[in-house]
Amino acid sequence: MKIVFATDSYWPRINGMSVSIDTFKQSLEAAGHEVHVLAPAFPGEPEDADQKAGRRNVHRFESTVWWLSKEDPLVHLSELPAVHQLLERLRPDVVHVQTELAMGWMCWRWARANQVPLVMTCHTFWQDYISHYAPFIPPRVSCWLVRTVTRRIARNMDAVVAPTDRMRNVLLRYGVDAPIDTIPTGFQQASFCGVDREQERRDSPLFEKHPELKGRKVLLTVGRLGKEKNHDFLVEVMEQLRTREPDALWLVVGDGPYRAELEARLVARGLRDRCVFTGYLPRDRVKHAFALADVFMFASKTETQGLVTVEAMSLGTPVVAIGEMGTRDVMNGDNGGFMMREEVGPFADRVSELLSDPALHAAKSAEAMSYAKRWTSCVLTERLVGVYQSVSRQLPACAHAPELAA
């Protein structure tokens, strides 16, 4: 099949959506399908960045930064003719919309006009994001807006994909009546091969820039540093662990708009020397952080998937995470670690137990590696192909081309 992914978020933007798109793209291509990604160009990025990174069939369009998130440029509406011309040339079998914004709108408008099947993945729990980035909007208004827009977009789709059952239930509450399939992204086993936990403890590549990690107990967090990711909770956890685990360092891999405020909070608590920030790391280096860590800590309550927890598990790192949204669905209890409520004391207790009890840590490490095998991308990609085949056998949903405001 020839498949188009339409997205407003892709590399070099580092987040769960970019990982999901790339994971499915590589798995689909490995299975013999042709996948094209239509995405915004990022200001300051060289034109050959995708080629140098080995990314094939990525098509970029002129964009501008939008007010809600300065990290996320949106394709100019003036690029609509160029987008449609490319789609006419590609003539895909399926258009898979990954975002509800400009690029998604341009592509589903073309697909509807040309009777091409449409699938959409709802990656983002927009109610929480709006509350963080536009707090001046009253909650009732943001809830109504998200429900209305999501329902109107979904009525143009032949199928909708939810990353978790919890997100599927949210869409059902919104009144989405298109068929909804729950298909998590999964993780690419090949991306996490070639590392050994014992070797990492002796001579991790991370020691070159961060020698203070050597010989210490490492508590890891990986992901974007945004206010909605709830890193403030982990600052309180580190404060609880200050005296109980004096050798523990918090390793934060990632970057984002909340980093400066997070560092300021650590300074105010006298914890700045207990935290190491690496900034963003290339995907082939993140695995070294996972393998080095003793415990993976995750506090986000807005994840539609929480796939990073499974990535940590795949390298034998036990997880302690707040069990909400996608994280709750992925961990499904204390699989590969401990799924916790948002309570600082009990959360810190579990982290401390894993650090101080070698037998417990070994048992949870083995459990984590076994559990992660259920979440490989090749297994989940087969289910996505099944959705594509299903919508390809039926006529696209009868709906008018939506306006952007809808």
DSSP 151-165: HHHHTT-SEEEESSH
- Contact (CB, 8 A) for 406 and 153: yes
* Residue 128 predicted with pLDDT over 70: no
Lowest mean pLDDT across 12-26, 63-77, 180-194, 312-326: 63-77
- The 3-state DSSP class for residue 390 equals helix
pLDDT of residue 130: 62
Q: Which amino acid is at 170?
A: V
- Contact (CB, 8 A) for 75 and 61: yes
Rounded to 5 degrees, what angle do the CA atoms 120, 125, 128 make?
Answer: 160
pLDDT of residue 14: 76
* Residue 320 predicted with pLDDT over 80: yes
Supply the DSSP string of 104-150, one letter for each residue. Answer: HHHHHHHHHHTT--EEEE----HHHHHHHH-TTS-HHHHHHHHHHHH
Determine how β-strand 63-66 pairs with β-strand 2-6.
Answer: unpaired
pTM: predicted TM-score of the whole model, two decimal places: 0.69
| CB neighbour burial string for 295-311, b if at least 16 within 10 angstroms, e if fewer | bbbbbbbbbbbbbbbbb
Rounded to 5 degrees, what angle do the CA atoms 139, 339, 264 make?
Answer: 60
What average pLDDT does the structure give for the chain?
Answer: 90
Q: Which amino acid is at 85?
A: Q
pLDDT of residue 272: 97
pLDDT of residue 394: 74
| CB neighbour burial string for 222-240, b if at least 16 within 10 angstroms, e if fewer | bbbbbbbbbbebbbbbbbb
Q: Residue 129: which pLDDT band, with cuts at 50, 70 and 90?
A: low
In the chain, what are the domains? 2-186+378-392 (3.40.50.2000), 189-374 (3.40.50.2000)
Lowest mean pLDDT across 59-68, 226-235, 389-398: 389-398
pLDDT of residue 398: 44
